[in-house]
Amino acid sequence: MIDNNEQHPFATIQKGMKVIDKSNTEVGTVDHIYFGAAPELNDNHGTGAATAPKPEMPEPSLIEQAADSIFGTDRFPEEMRERLLNKGFIRVDSFGLFAGDRYFLPDQIDHIEGNEIYLNVHRVQSFEK
């Protein structure tokens, strides 16, 4: 969990950055960044994620709208979708003719150097669409 005094791991990530896995293999480039839904306590203190749902909107319809706009018509298992939406993720456009998008959680990022994101996991440990 992110300390309220720490910057969110996604704060310095930009679309187009290279993503490199634990074995030093390039996975692809960042296509989308989603900070995740903030717990109500963080939201009340103003430390919630930038993409957190607005309090005046009913949560189920907002989550479904967000999931549809982010994940499209392909459906992830519900548990996986909820985890990605709550914790946040970066969507990576993978290389290769048959490669699908890959999704990485904040805790899967080891460090960022310049325009490169280094993961603490192997490519196969991502969520794939």
Task: Kindly report whether the global pTM for this prediction surpasses the value 0.85.
Answer: no
- Mean pLDDT over the full length of the chain: 75
pLDDT in tens, 110-124: 999 999 999 999 987
Distances (CA, A) of 92 to 5, 43, 88, 96, 105: 27, 27, 13, 12, 11
Q: How far apart are CA 88 and CA 52, in angstroms?
A: 10
18-20/116-119 β-pairing: parallel
Determine what percent of the chain is predicted with pLDDT higher than 70: 60
How would residue 72 be classed by pLDDT, with cut points 50, 70 and 90? low
